[in-house]
Amino acid sequence: MGVKSTGQVTAEGTNAAGDEIETTNAREADADSTIAELVSRARAAMGIFEHYDQERVDEVVQAVAWAIIKRENAEELARLAVEDTCLGKYEDKVDKNRRKSLGTLQDLLDPTARSVGVIEVDKEKGITEIAKPVGVVAAVTPSTNPAATPANKTMMALKGRNAIIIAPSPKGASTCKLLLQYIHEEMSKIGAPLDLVQALPRVDKELAHELMKQADFVTVTGSGNNVHAGQTSGTPNACVGAGNVVSVVDSTAEIEEAARKIRTSKTFDYGTSCSNDNSVVVESPVHEEMVEALKREGGYLCDDEERALLGEALWPGGGKRSSETLCKAPSVIAEVAGLENPEAREASFFMVEGKGVGEEDLFSGEKLSVVLTVYRAADFDEALDLTRRILDYVGRGHSCGLHTTSEANVERIGQEMDVCRLLINQIQVFGNGGSFDNGLGFTLSMGGGSWAGNNIDENLSYRHFLNITRVSRTIPEVVPTEDELLGSYWSRYGR
């Protein structure tokens, strides 16, 4: 039709700028009506769901869990995810689909995890807590975990008797569609309303943003842009920040065990998780020993020339992170980077020396790959300083780890580091999002608190999908005296 960006009148006599405005308005109107229909169906389903008792609600949660824990489903979802996103490792995605969902189900079926009606009575304070839904949940999910994350959020949202509408990433849409099919198959068995769990009919930025506006609650796991959109949507939200895990290895650590755990974390699903180790800061007295232990675990230490090649493969021209090496097998990374050493071609992961923090050394940031940056610190003071600087660059508030046998160092890093999760002698990629051998809740979405600009500073859980009515009854009055409250102040500073 001869549309021109200048806004000039074309041969057909149509203003091109006007056409663009009309097209934009049409897209917005379509997004508004499409989302309104989804939300309306979700609310109707909730009208049925709100009458379910705790046992029935938990049965719905079990149905969703089984939809992804069932081995053949987990395997097919993993296969499709790797095929369509080209991210991660099939075997690890199968394990993630099953393990994370099983752990989340364990948390949600805990007898203390009440989410229907009266959930707590404090007779001493005269407070009775009654749980109610937050409403229709908009859940934006990433391509790195296109099955596990939406399943995880769906289980939590349904635990609170909410409905959920999933906005998948473009590459993860096919996996999400299949997951939804599996979920609906299980929900049909128990007669639950299928519209409790929906997904956008197509991947579309306008639809996703409109969903965030019309929903009652938003949760976003994924890119910084999506998180920002969720947090500025005007809708109450629980969005999560970027990870860039740093693990400190002090001079008292069990070196072989630390190396094994760091390798496991670094290589799992080819680094798709925000909780995999991106950097390790090693105290100088055990630095060489640690590097050798990491080599025995399959790590390959790049020399300066190879480091430069690897950097170019990750950030061509020092710019945007390349999709060619994003969450790819080490053999693929070696090929793209042109690492000719046979040992590099057979490595399980790559190590590079940390030469700075921030823009001066991009290896200090989150890499989403099997690349580990290794820093040397003269002592524990410098190790903490380096860790703090790295997290201030990327990942502040998220998490870090410490491998040690010193309780004094545990106490100190806990007091000094601004993170919401500090894992001691653990595999970061498993432990941050909850593990069967720690007390953190199972999740794939971890808040970083105000340090990360998030509303939550803990692992996302079903509690974030509840509104609580607190019924207050009178109790015997207790009025303190001024002396009881101010006596210590008066004794020091006078009245």
Distance CA 213, CA 137 (A): 11
Contact 67, 48 (CB under 8 A): no
371-377/277-283 β-pairing: parallel
The CA–CA distances, whole Å, from 247 to 275, 386, 416, 426, 445 equal: 11, 11, 15, 10, 20
From 274, 302, 327, 420, active-site residue: 274
Residue 192 tokens, joined: 């639950």
First CA to last CA across the chain, in angstroms? 84
Angle between helices 54-69 and 71-85 (to 10 degrees): 60
- Dihedral (Cα; 402, 407, 408, 412), 10-degree rounding: 40
Distance CA 303, CA 388 (A): 26
User: Which residue type does 190 have?
Assistant: I
* Residue 420 annotated among the catalytic residues of the structure: no
In which residue are the tokens 């201030």 written? 392
SS in 3 state form for the chain? CCCCCCCCECCCCCEHHHHHHHHHHHHHHHHHHHHHHHHHHHHHHHHHHCCCCHHHHHHHHHHHHHHHHCHHHHHHHHHHHHHHHCCCCHHHHHHHHHHHHHHHHHHHCCCCCCCCEEEEEECCCCEEEEEEECCEEEEECCCCCCCHHHHHHHHHHHHCCCEEEEECCCCCHHHHHHHHHHHHHHHHHCCCCHHHEEECCCCCHHHHHHHHHHCCEEEECCCHHHHHHHHCCCCCECCCCCCCEEEEECCCCCHHHHHHHHHHHHHHHHHCCCCCEEEEEEEHHHHHHHHHHHHHCCEEECCHHHHHHHHHHHCHHHCCCCHHHCCCCHHHHHHHHCCCCHHHHCCCEEEEECCCCECCEHHHCCCCCCEEEEEEECCHHHHHHHHHHHHHHCCCEEEEEEECCCHHHHHHHHHHCCEEEEEECCCHHHHCCCCCCCCCCCCCCECCHHHHCCCCCCECCHHHHEEEEEEECCCCCCCCCHHHHHHHHHHHHCC
| Residues with a known catalytic role | 274
